[in-house]
Amino acid sequence: MLAFTLRRAIQAIGVMIAVGVIAFSMFRFAGDPVNQIVSLDTPAAEREAVRKSLGLDDPVPVQFARYFGNAAQFKFGVSYQFRQPVSNLLMERMPATLELAACATVLAMVFGILMGVYSALRRDTILTKFFQAVSLIGISLPTFLIGILLIYLFSVTLGWLPSFGRGDVVRIGWWTTGLLTLSGLKALIMPSITLGLFQMTLIMRLVRAEMLEVLRTDYIRFARARGLTTRAIHFGHALKNTLVPVITVAGLQFGSVIAFAIITETVFQWPGMGLLFVQAVQNVDIPIMAAYLLMVSLIFVTINLVVDILYTVVDPRLRSTIRRPA
Amino acid sequence: MSDAVVPHRVEPNTPTARAGTNWLRRALDSDIFYSFRRSRMTMVAAAITVLFFLLAIFASQLAVQNPFDPAQLQLMNSRISPIWTAEGQTPFLLGTDEQGRDVFSAILYGLRISLVVGVLGVILAGTLGITLGLIAGYVGGAVDGLIMRIADVQLTFPAILIALLVNGVAKSVLGNRLDAMSTLGVLVIAIGLSFWVQYARTVRGSVMVEKNKDYVAAAQLIGLPAPKIMLRHVLPNAMGPILVIATINLALAIITEATLSFLGAGMPDTMPSLGTLIRIGNNYLFAGEWWIVAFPGLALAGLILSINLLGDWLRDALNPKLR
């Protein structure tokens, strides 16, 4: 168990170093950082001074070590567009993205599981057909089209919900939250639906498939033979066993929720990290791009690591196979 | 037509003199075509997909104007609503946008670009993935380990993030203001680099199974070079799943291109794809000019939905477990 955890941790560190090399190469070699800082008519001597002050004269390995050391302390350099430290910008934007991603995930889990269970138990009803049509749309429609559709319906036509921004936010320490004000909650509704729809269809399909599989197993038949109520069989025995893979997938998908937030945040002008990243790509603001890559990779790798380890804790059958190196 | 209903009929041994019609008859008599004719939804999806491809190919014949040619646009004709509304005007079937561009013509040309980027992206991703998968599966050892580790790591990152990064880096290296054609190239590369992993994994799996079979040993024995064995003998056995992945990937590639263009990191306004048209139209939504965004959106959704349905059907039809 310990050896497995250690090996996975070392793998995770390896991935982070690889991502770090990519982020550094982007930062250092994709365009000259000096050109981004000085203006066009800066004399050559001044350019050299800037170059020296940025440490761009040092050997590349030294620069890489310095970049990595700084990144470990959350220092990612200065944004070309905003002339502010990238870490400040990211910290300012992070609560918005995390709040949105968390809301979308909860939404997707609750409705995905409900719809999945229903469509597995009542296979031929009209409601099941409707759920399946929704899931086909959720997988086929691009996220931004769903967002535009919602804006047209609820903002332009009905005027019920705001079409952009976070509404009023409350500051708690360095964290800003929109969950405590009415306008904040209203602003959260449409982006959460847009972001969560894809995950919801994924969870619904997964729950349905798992439920159908579990309902065919012997222990369910045995439970029926024991004379348990249908409700106890469906929810006490069948659903419980389908939830392990569902939680795993939802956990692993949290990383892609954060990445897909890029699109949702652009549609709704949501002031999160994703919008910052898109603006950075449009304006070739490499320090922000590199920092975003590092941050998101860190979140991904951590989630993967935690899920892998939790899996062995939850499911004892996996432990014996893990001990043998593959 | 009654004999086509029996799917597993033994093929009569006709002489090869009529090889051409024989091939056609075999195709019409195959299990795949049988399952195709059984599913009405698949037939509709196939018809819509073919229609979209035809619209894209004959865009310049069908369009009332070339939406990329500023000389053909007149500001007098801007913001006309679709033809069936009160303010509609004759040549502009689906209305016009801010610059007097006919929405229908813009959709035809945009469709062409979306499909070109999607198809080229899938071809690039497929070539890259198949090559790496063949090498990983056939050579094995450290090479296999390295390629599959890279694939594992990349698989944890969503394709859209990778495509955005590739796009941003390419812009930075080539200069921020790219012309439309090189943007198209960058998009194809970004999509190719984002979607190769699935091919590589599938091909590697098939190669690992196939390479221990007798026919590969026989081919090695008569001294065929390894690349020839892989391409001519092993690869055809992995073609089924590759085709399924390619179909579903085409839909994903079109979504990715549209998303990049929508985010402003894709095709420029001067040479818009469907995604660019949706981004432009989105700005006029609040002014009540819904048709500028609605019709490109509808075209994109219809295209993706029908390709997805085709992919789903192909996956089920080629899966021997479900027969």
The CA distance from B2 to the nearest CA of chain A, in Å, is: 31
Predicted confidence at residue A33, as pLDDT, reads: 66
Establish if A146 touches chain B: CB-CB under 8 angstroms: no
Which domain covers residue B224, as residue numbers?
A: 35-322
Predicted confidence at residue B115, as pLDDT, reads: 93
Contacts of A26 in chain B (CB under 8 A): 165, 169, 172
Mean pLDDT of A147-156: 86
Please indicate whether residue B137 or residue B287 has the higher confidence score (pLDDT): B137
By mean pLDDT, which of A148-162, B95-109, B201-215, B241-255 is the weakest?
B95-109
Question: Between chains, do A31 and B301 touch, taking CB under 8 Å as contact?
Answer: no
Predicted confidence at residue B2, as pLDDT, reads: 42
Q: Dihedral of CA A193/A194/A195/A196: which sign?
A: positive
CB A109 within 8 A of CB A254: no
Predicted confidence at residue A316, as pLDDT, reads: 62
Of A136, A144, A284, the CB nearest to B171: A284
Mean pLDDT of A56-73: 77
Mean pLDDT of A216-225: 84
Q: B131-159, pLDDT tens digit by residue?
A: 999 888 888 888 888 888 888 778 777 77
Mean pLDDT of chain A: 81
Residue B30 in any domain: the answer is: no
pLDDT classification of A324: cutoffs 50, 70, 90: very low
Q: A8-38, pLDDT tens digit by residue?
A: 888 888 888 888 888 888 777 766 666 666 6
Total of domains in chain B: 1
In order of A13, B100, B111, B290, the CA distances from A140 in angstroms are: 36, 31, 17, 22
pLDDT classification of B1: cutoffs 50, 70, 90: very low
Nearest CA in chain A to B290: A152
> Is the pLDDT at B54 greater than 80, yes or no?
yes
CB B155 within 8 A of CB A256: no
By mean pLDDT, which of A230-234, A295-299, B92-96, B176-180 is the weakest?
B176-180
Of A137, A142, A297, the CB nearest to B258: A142
> Is the pLDDT at B176 greater than 70, yes or no?
no
Residue B43: both structure tokens together: 């037939």
Mean pLDDT of B161-187: 78
Establish if A144 touches chain B: CB-CB under 8 angstroms: yes
Torsion on CA atoms A141, A142, A145, A147, rounded to nearest 10: 100
Predicted confidence at residue B117, as pLDDT, reads: 93
Nearest CA in chain A to B253: A142
Residue B315 in any domain: the answer is: yes
Establish if A300 touches chain B: CB-CB under 8 angstroms: yes
Domains and CATH numbers, chain A: 86-283 (1.10.3720.10)
| Percent of chain B at pLDDT exceeding 90 | 12
Predicted confidence at residue A138, as pLDDT, reads: 78
Question: Between chains, do B301 and A281 touch, taking CB under 8 Å as contact?
Answer: no
Question: Phi then psi for A176, rounded to 5 degrees?
Answer: -110, 135
DSSP string, B30-85: SHHHHHHHH-HHHHHHHHHHHHHHHHHHTHHHH-SS-TT-GGG--GGGTTPPPTTS
Question: Between chains, do A281 and B167 touch, taking CB under 8 Å as contact?
Answer: yes
Predicted confidence at residue A135, as pLDDT, reads: 83
ipTM of the complex as predicted: 0.78
Question: Phi then psi for A56, rounded to 5 degrees?
Answer: -80, -5
The CA distance from B175 to the nearest CA of chain A, in Å, is: 8
Establish if A288 touches chain B: CB-CB under 8 angstroms: no
Establish if A13 touches chain B: CB-CB under 8 angstroms: no
| Percent of chain B at pLDDT exceeding 70 | 83
Please indicate whether residue B322 or residue B190 has the higher confidence score (pLDDT): B190
Q: If 0-12 CB within 10 Å is exposed, 13-18 middle and 19+ buried, where does residue B18 land?
A: exposed
Mean pLDDT of A38-46: 72
Task: Please state, in angstroms and rounded to a whole number, the distance separating the CA atoms of residues A72 and B273.
Answer: 41
Of A136, A152, A282, the CB nearest to B285: A152
> Is the pLDDT at B109 greater than 80, yes or no?
yes
CB atoms within 10 A of CB A43: 9
Mean pLDDT of A241-255: 78
| Percent of chain A at pLDDT exceeding 90 | 2
Of B157, B173, B265, the CB nearest to A300: B157
Predicted confidence at residue B14, as pLDDT, reads: 46
pLDDT classification of B121: cutoffs 50, 70, 90: very high
Predicted confidence at residue B15, as pLDDT, reads: 47
Question: Between chains, do B286 and A144 touch, taking CB under 8 Å as contact?
Answer: no
Residue with tokens 């029926």: A224
> Is the pLDDT at A323 greater than 70, yes or no?
no
CATH code of residue B289: 1.10.3720.10
Mean pLDDT of A162-188: 79
> Is the pLDDT at B241 greater than 50, yes or no?
yes
Task: Please state, in angstroms and rounded to a whole number, the distance separating the CA atoms of residues A127 and B130.
Answer: 42
Q: To probe the interface with B, which of A145, A201, A307 has the most B CB atoms within 10 Å?
A: A145
By mean pLDDT, which of A9-18, B45-54, B67-76, B240-249 is the weakest?
B67-76
Q: B261-282, pLDDT tens digit by residue?
A: 888 888 888 888 888 888 888 8
Task: Please state, in angstroms and rounded to a whole number, the distance separating the CA atoms of residues B63 and B104.
Answer: 7
Q: To probe the interface with A, which of B156, B183, B285, B298 has the most A CB atoms within 10 Å?
A: B156
Distance in angstroms between the alpha carbons of the first and the last residue of chain A: 15
Task: Please state, in angstroms and rounded to a whole number, the distance separating the CA atoms of residues B254 and B117.
Answer: 7
Determine which helix (DSSP H) or strand (DSSP E) holds A271, and give its type and residue range: none
Contacts of B301 in chain A (CB under 8 A): 140-142, 145
Q: To probe the interface with A, which of B172, B173, B250, B322 has the most A CB atoms within 10 Å?
A: B172
Residue B8 in any domain: the answer is: no
Contacts of A289 in chain B (CB under 8 A): 165, 168-169
Of A145, A260, A281, the CB nearest to B297: A145
Residue A29: both structure tokens together: 């070699």
Residue B235 in any domain: the answer is: yes
Residue with tokens 């939804």: B41
Mean pLDDT of chain B: 80
Mean pLDDT of B289-315: 86
Predicted confidence at residue B120, as pLDDT, reads: 95
Task: Supply the pTM of this predicted model.
Answer: 0.82
The CA distance from A107 to the nearest CA of chain B, in Å, is: 21
CB A274 within 8 A of CB A263: yes
pLDDT classification of B128: cutoffs 50, 70, 90: very high
